Amino acid sequence: MIEVKELHKGFGDVKVLKGISTTFQPGKTSLIIGQSGSGKTVFLKSLIGLHIPEAGTISFNGKANTEFTNLEKRQWRQEIGMVFQGSALFDSQTVEENVMFPLKMFTNQSQSEMLDRVNFVLKRVNLENSNKKFPAELSGGMQKRVAIARAIVMNPKYLFCDEPNSGLDPQTAIVIDNLIQEITDEYNITTVINTHDMNSVMEIGEKILFLKDGRKAWEGSSGEIFKTDNEAVVSFVYSSNLFKKVREAYLNEKK
């Protein structure tokens, strides 16, 4: 379980996170939503240790990440998989080399063992026959799949995704959502996703955290988000006519 208490983070005079507290349950998919500039990415990067909070604690299974010994920190890093917004694949390496990279760095497996594992995870993300291609030769959706494969190759306990659907067509976005959900269930991973995609909110959000101006404005499940009358959530999530109608239909059905 990931537990966040009173998290504060700023850059110079700009306060980005203003006392966020929440928990992310193991084996569940949690979504962080909010407008651009609401602090989602800073929050996610604070969770994975790329930003050092000014105040507050982030605990993994009861232990604050600031209290980790060097050895614990190294082990914790290997338990984390991260899918970046732009995929962040290494340009100079092939798909196979990208996915194999964490194995090379942190295991003593032989080349054939590593290759077996790489082929297994690439098959899992439905990306076979692309081993020797470079990231520049892949479509956006394929790059995301390689990024997911690289993130899960070390069997992580935690998977963090920063807008995994950005720049993808709706069909591919659903494929990526489903893939993340399946992997979360299959390997019992604690998954936290930053997203703007309302389809994701409806489809895979077992828990949803809504941020506004660096604060937690609402928290609940995808079922509850239909019923909430929190103005900030309603105006953000149901800003499109389509989603307004979906919500009305849902609420009418419930009546």
Residues at the contact surface with other proteins, assessed by CB under 8 A: 45, 48-50, 73-74, 77-78, 80, 82, 84-86, 88-91, 101-102, 104-106
CA 33 vs CA 134, 163, 220, 247: distances in Å: 32, 10, 12, 18
* CB-nearer residue toward other proteins: 105 or 242: 105
Least distance between other proteins and beta carbon 108 (Å): 9
* CB-nearer residue toward other proteins: 80 or 246: 80
* CB-nearer residue toward other proteins: 91 or 253: 91
* CB-nearer residue toward other proteins: 109 or 199: 109
- In the numeric block, the tokens 């390689």 are attached to 146
Least distance between other proteins and beta carbon 150 (Å): 8
Backbone angles phi, psi at 131, to 5 degrees: -55, -40
Least distance between other proteins and beta carbon 180 (Å): 17
Q: Between vectors from CA 185 to CA 172 and to CA 116, what angle results, nearest 5°?
A: 75
C-beta of residue 109 within 8 angstroms of C-beta of residue 82? no
Least distance between other proteins and beta carbon 98 (Å): 10
245 C-beta neighbours (distance < 10 Å), count: 11
Q: Which helix (H) or strand (E) holds 202?
A: helix 198-204
